[in-house]
């Protein structure tokens, strides 16, 4: 047998082995409807490479087991996959497009931060406290009045912020919005601040934010216990008016 023939046979064997390996890949495995228990498909998941396994799991997390016909699916976020192979394809597409969306959003945030920098450089905002208070405490009623009220166990979420005038000039009034996000990117609370009291240069004032008529929900109670290092504050001042009549205004 010539060397050339041997090489051809070897190439054919390698191709056959490659095809066999590809056929053994569990791309045709049906996706489960119950994504809380993946035990039935775990053996097939284990036969995937790490990257493909992550893609399947990522798709299942996003879809939560939902399957829609193409005609009813969101064209931007279609949950139409029924098999591993289809899930891998859709998740790769999602990640690719999400990277583009994230880049655009980051560019917009950077531009927004640049425009807000003069206002943030004049008036800082810091997160001071997260509390579950009684309704009377949330309303700021005097202690003697609160003492006459029975504690019915109802609690209200109150978040305190500190406005710090770092401009070196007296601020007559200020307003703006603040959001607090956790490390998953989820917004945990929002507050609109309208400061009408004068704030001397380098002075600070604490502002409480909450709805005394709204009972704290389990999510609010959980928010109180989130470690501070896991939280990010986004301060977007809308307008700052100085005592001399000049003002800084955020772009619309």
pLDDT over 70 percentage in the chain: 87
- Maximum Cα–Cα distance for the chain, whole Å? 106
Contact call for residues 120 and 237 (beta carbons, < 8 A): yes
How sure is the predictor about 111, in pLDDT bands with cuts at 50, 70 and 90? very high
Domains along the chain with CATH numbers: 119-249 (2.60.40)
d(C-alpha 189, C-alpha 151), whole Å: 25
What pLDDT, on a 0 to 100 scale, did the predictor assign at position 144?
66
How sure is the predictor about 22, in pLDDT bands with cuts at 50, 70 and 90? very low
**Is the overall model pTM greater than 0.75, yes or no?**
no
Q: What average pLDDT does the chain have? A: 89
pLDDT single digits (tens) 125-165:
999 999 999 988 888 777 766 666 766 778 999 999 999 99
pLDDT for residue 206 is more than 80: yes
């Amino acid at each position: 047998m010539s060397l050339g023939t041997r090489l051809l046979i070897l190439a054919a064997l390698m191709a056959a082995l490659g095809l066999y390996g590809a056929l053994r890949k569990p791309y045709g495995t049906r996706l489960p409807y119950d994504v809380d228990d993946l035990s039935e498909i775990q053996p097939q998941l284990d036969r995937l490479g790490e990257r493909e396994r992550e893609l399947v799991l990522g798709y299942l997390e996003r879809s939560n087991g939902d399957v829609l016909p193409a005609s009813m699916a969101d064209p931007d976020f279609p949950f139409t996959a029924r098999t591993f192979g289809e899930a891998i394809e859709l998740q790769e597409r999602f990640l690719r497009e999400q990277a583009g969306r994230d880049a655009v959003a980051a560019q917009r945030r950077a531009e927004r931060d640049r425009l807000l920098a003069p206002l943030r450089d004049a008036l800082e905002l810091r997160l001071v406290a997260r509390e579950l208070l009684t309704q009377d405490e949330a309303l700021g009623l005097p202690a003697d009045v609160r003492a006459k009220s029975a504690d019915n166990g109802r609690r209200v979420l109150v978040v305190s912020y500190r406005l710090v005038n770092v401009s070196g000039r007296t601020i007559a009034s200020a307003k703006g919005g603040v959001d607090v996000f956790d490390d998953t990117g989820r917004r945990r609370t929002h507050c609109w601040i309208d400061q009408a009291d004068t704030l001397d240069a380098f002075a600070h004032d604490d502002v409480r934010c909450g709805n005394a008529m709204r009972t704290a929900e389990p999510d609010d109670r959980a928010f109180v216990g989130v470690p501070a290092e896991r939280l990010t504050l986004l301060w977007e001042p809308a307008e700052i008016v100085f005592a001399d009549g000049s003002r800084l205004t955020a772009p619309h």
